[in-house]
Structure 1
Amino acid sequence: MKLLFAEDEKFTREGVLKSVSWERLGITELHEAVDGLDAVAIAEQFKPDIVLTDIRMPRMDGIELAFHLRRKYPQCKIVFMSGYADKEYLKAAITLKAVSYVEKPIDVEELEDALRGAIDIVLEEQRHVANDTVAKENKSYMKQEAALQLIRGGYDEDMLHSRLLAADFTAVMQAPAATAVIKLISPGSQKETLGHLIEEALASSEQPYLYAWKDDHHAIVHFFSHQHDGVEISHVRHLCYELSVALKREFGLFSIAAGKIVPSAYKLQESYTSAVLRLQESFFHKPCSLILHDNTGSDAQSLHYVTQPEQLVRFTEALSEEHFADADQLLATITGDIRQHPGTLIVSVKELYYRFILEMDKFAQSRNITLFDTSEENDVAWKLILECHYLDDIHRVTAMKLDELRKAIQDRSSGGMSSTSSRIVRFIHLHYADDDLSVQDVSDHMQMTASHLISIFKDATGKTIKQYVTEYRMEKAKELLRNNRLKVLDVASQVGFKDGEHFAKIFRKSTGMTPSEYRERCQS
């Protein structure tokens, strides 16, 4: 509660400020003014609920101040103070509908009683305003709450029907109905406009409907039967299309999925469930897609994409050979295949592309190229994938990183160094399992001196050949250790180590754990 106190006499002003128990009265903000003009200036910013003012003040008296405030802030309550029994002033106070009139010298109890009366009036008016607002919004709230109850279940049908009638909503509840679910990727401040868009989209239809927000990103719309017309597939298709047209004007990314038509509105929970299942398929469609229950492929939930291990091998080999066009084509082919299997778990798809990106990052690091900002604590690569809402988005960001890698390799190609270092890397990838692989073997293959070989490779990758061979062997060992069927000694021999103990020592130095500990962690 905000109060503005205008009094020109300093002694009286300070006395009142010290004597009145403002906080106990409920006054949370208090400003003081030395006369009427000062009060007018303060009120511009302060906008008081109550004004306590002396009547006789220089420059602008209390009556003139009150008239000014009444014109600008009609809800402001006025309490006058005066030491003069002037009839004209009293008449003005009555005209201004002043709450009270306190005579000087001020009696604190009398003043506090007058202020309580003003506060009570302000609170009562605020309650009336709140009640009017609630009354206007109540019907809309009741409808939205009913829409949510219809998908939650566990409600009393007669009571729900009575509430809908009280909200002026009429529909044949014991007749066919259907639910559509709207997914908005970034509703933001535009979320408030959804209701208006739905009303606009469905205004031309006589089909009764209810809508409500399910959570921050999902809204539901129920379509009901009219007294003369039931809900049919063609109606649902048309209404969803109208919704889609309206949403495109305000929202950049969204999807709409319609559930099956159920025989009664009281079974809309079933329609909602089927709509949610179909909405999962929106991940495999283009943004702003419309997915209806009668779409071809409605049985596609049973179709799951099966990842082929050789795909990752082919992708890794294409990177190693710097055949970026082949890697890009492989990604496009896989994306097309996945799109034909909308029953695939979305997290499985994201994990697959995450593995592709990790291979790119591993390849980039082998060439001393930074593909991701490693200064951040979070897994940047996984975050990049996780934030994608559509299959096309995942393919786009993965292809974008591949192209970024391709350009970085091209930028390194000055003086033929990239070509030479790439040949060295390819030779290592082919022969890392040879336990006797040495720098001299690489030097002989490249037909150059060992010192020149080491210099070129260090400039290109930032690593020595021995360091790169060890790191590559450790990465391959990690892959093999994830396979519980291989013994640690077998893993060691497959990555170029004759001695299992030496392998375990190098592995521990590289990862901070033994091969067995690493395997247990992967399987836990």
Structure 2
Amino acid sequence: MNLLLVDDEEMTRQGLIENIDFESIGIHNIKDCKNGKDALLAVKAFTPDILLTDIRMPKMTGIELAKEIHQIFPDCRIVFMSGYSDKEYLIEALKLKAVDYVEKPIVLEKISDTLKKAADEVLKSRSTSKITENADKVIKSTSHILKSELALVLTKPKFDNNKFINLVSLTNFEILATFYVITVVFKICDADVSIARETLTEITESILGEEKNDAIYTFKGDDAFVVTFCFKNKASVDARCVVNFANSLLEKANIKMFCSIGNAYPVESAYNSYQDATINLVAGFYKGYGKIVSVDLGNQTYDFDLSKIQAFEKCLIGKDRETAIHILKSIASDLKNYPATLNAASKNYFCKMALLIVNLKEEYNIKSDKEYAENILEVIFKFKTLDEIVDELIKEIDGFFACINIDSENNIVFKIKQYVKENYTHQLLSVSEISDYLGLNMSYACKIFRMRTGTTISRYITNYRIIESKKLLLLHNIAIRDIAVMVGFQNSNYFGKVFKKIEGMQPKEYRNKNML
């Protein structure tokens, strides 16, 4: 049921929206406007069942607005609000057959009761049958709305038997308390929701009409389409027809969606079927779009092995593209066997792989999208399926290898950095040793490194040693003199001088400051 709320005071509008339990009244959609002119524009795309409006407003009074709305939507119930006791307004309100007139300051209980009264009138009006072409259209539209509300009732944690019975009688939909239900939930991903809703409604009507299945459906939230199948008893439950429907809708709709099917439950426990399906929708991340998630996901989760990330890094450093991609795909393939694994845990794991590529690009001095690199975690987490993440990482891997194959100078810089990383602990590590290892002329190696990084190889070695020493200084159980040797300095005195020159303080001061 739709409510159009019009008041020039934003505080009043927000106060009503936030403090009234509209769901319990039967109102599921609310459109609020600050004046009558805006309201008339809004109803071009919004059909109000109830108009709740202030009387005295700029541009157009509530009475004038109500007259316009009554012309367009003669069945719309009208409730007026006003801080003034104006007899002329009251007379006009009576002429428009307003449901009630609520005085300001507003008492929430009073206005809730009034809206409930209006909602009841709307429901009663919808159930009235007129043998005219126009009435037939209204009844057909109303029946659809009521069936949608009935389907919505079956997704609530607390089963409202009175509302259920009332809606069943109004819709003439055959469903009794002895029936069993199975709920199917579709999650709409990456689509225009309004277009998706129209498409899903049309195709669902077509499939249900062809198959002669007893089912009702509704939309819940922005992206959930819920279809509830009804069976006369437990013995007549036909899960196969539900699966066939789901597959048919996924195929014909051509919309990116996840789909999950709940177990069969008695009508009064319909929420359990809805909950089964909703909870298991998370496995759509592993299944992918257009696939049905079964109820039994198991409880085993994937064991994230960091050694695979290390192997992946080794392949990147060793320029083994094929094996790097094979490792990535095999991890993804294994993950699909453990759909109970938290999506966030999987995304975090792949973030580590993505960061490896970003960091290696930096070490190679490969120019990359700075904003992309800084937001790589957000990039990975925005993807809704595992396959999308794998495709993104393969694209990054290919970009990485394309750059290092083209730029030999960046390759030299990377190899120098990698050699320092692996040998910085050796006290005699020198530029000459590194040049010999790479098979390069020493002056050429120094020139390329400085040109690409802005620093010398010797200074890079020293800075790298200081960086590693800072990590060790945070550990209480290692003496500073031992740390000096561990990172490649000949003695602690020289280590102290170099450390102070770079960090502005002695190693001991750094330790005391950062261990607090």
TM over 0.5: yes
Question: 2:285 aligned to 278, 283, 286, which one?
Answer: 283
Q: How does 1:36-185 map to 2 (within 5 A)?
A: 122=68, 124-128=70-74, 130=76, 135=126, 136=138, 137-185=141-189
Structure 2 SS opposite 1:152: coil
Q: Could you tell me whether the CA contact under 8 Å between 2:363 and 2:414 is conserved in 1?
A: no
CA distance in 1, matches of 2:302, 2:283: 13
Structure 1 SS opposite 2:398: helix
Which residue of the partner structure matches residue 352 of structure 1?
Answer: 349
Query: Could you give the per-residue CA deviations for residues 281-329 of structure 1, whole angstroms, max 9, x where no partner exists?
Result: 2211232112233xxxx3x431211111212222222222222222222
Structure 2 SS opposite 1:243: helix
Q: How does 1:284-303 map to 2 (within 5 A)?
A: 284-293=286-295, 298=296, 300-303=297-300
Which residue of the partner structure matches residue 270 of structure 1?
Answer: 272
CA distance in 1, matches of 2:513, 2:142: 62
In structure 2, relative to structure 1, the CA distance for the partners of 1:436 and 1:169 (3 Å cut) is: farther
Q: How does 1:322-341 map to 2 (within 5 A)?
A: 322-341=319-338
Question: 2:197 aligned to 189, 192, 198, which one?
Answer: 192
Which residue of the partner structure matches residue 408 of structure 1?
Answer: 403
CA distance in 1, matches of 2:181, 2:272: 10
Q: How much does 1:449 deviate?
A: 4.8
Q: How much does 1:345 deviate?
A: 1.0
CA distance in 1, matches of 2:195, 2:473: 50
Answer with 1 or 2: which has the greater Rg: 1
Which residue of the partner structure matches residue 111 of structure 1?
Answer: none
CA distance in 1, matches of 2:391, 2:260: 24
RMSD of equivalent CA atoms: 4.0
Which residue of the partner structure matches residue 439 of structure 1?
Answer: 431
CA distance in 1, matches of 2:488, 2:187: 52
1:239 partner amino acid: F
Q: How much does 1:139 deviate?
A: 3.5
In structure 2, relative to structure 1, the CA distance for the partners of 1:242 and 1:426 (3 Å cut) is: same
In structure 2, relative to structure 1, the CA distance for the partners of 1:190 and 1:507 (3 Å cut) is: farther
Which residue of the partner structure matches residue 19 of structure 2?
Answer: none
Structure 1, gaps ≥5 residues long? 1-25, 30-46, 48-114
1:434 partner amino acid: H
Q: How much does 1:457 deviate?
A: 2.2
Q: Could you tell me whether the CA contact under 8 Å between 2:251 and 2:290 is conserved in 1?
A: no
- Does residue 457 of structure 1 match 2:449? yes
356-365 or 216-225, which moves further after superposition?
216-225
- Identity, in percent, stands at 19
In structure 2, relative to structure 1, the CA distance for the partners of 1:326 and 1:343 (3 Å cut) is: same
Q: How much does 1:383 deviate?
A: 2.0
1:233 partner amino acid: A
Q: Could you tell me whether the CA contact under 8 Å between 2:208 and 2:214 is conserved in 1?
A: no
Structure 2, gaps ≥5 residues long? 1-34, 42-60, 78-121, 127-137
Question: 2:312 aligned to 315, 337, 350, which one?
Answer: 315
CA distance in 2, matches of 1:436, 1:148: 75
Q: Could you tell me whether the CA contact under 8 Å between 2:261 and 2:294 is conserved in 1?
A: yes
Q: How much does 1:390 deviate?
A: 0.8
TM-score computed with the length of structure 1 as normaliser: 0.64
Q: Could you tell me whether the CA contact under 8 Å between 2:404 and 2:411 is conserved in 1?
A: no
CA distance in 2, matches of 1:338, 1:116: 60
Q: Could you tell me whether the CA contact under 8 Å between 2:178 and 2:232 is conserved in 1?
A: no
Q: How much does 1:230 deviate?
A: 2.8
Question: 1:254 aligned to 247, 252, 257, which one?
Answer: 257
In structure 2, relative to structure 1, the CA distance for the partners of 1:221 and 1:446 (3 Å cut) is: same
CA distance in 2, matches of 1:117, 1:279: 48
Q: How much does 1:444 deviate?
A: 4.1
CA distance in 2, matches of 1:485, 1:339: 43
CA distance in 2, matches of 1:184, 1:267: 25
Query: Could you give the per-residue CA deviations for residues 155-175 of structure 1, whole angstroms, max 9, x where no partner exists?
Result: 321331222321332223322
Q: How much does 1:503 deviate?
A: 9.1
CA distance in 1, matches of 2:242, 2:210: 14
Structure 2 SS opposite 1:180: strand
In structure 2, relative to structure 1, the CA distance for the partners of 1:478 and 1:127 (3 Å cut) is: farther
- Does residue 233 of structure 1 match 2:230? no
Q: How much does 1:120 deviate?
A: 8.0
CA distance in 2, matches of 1:468, 1:389: 41
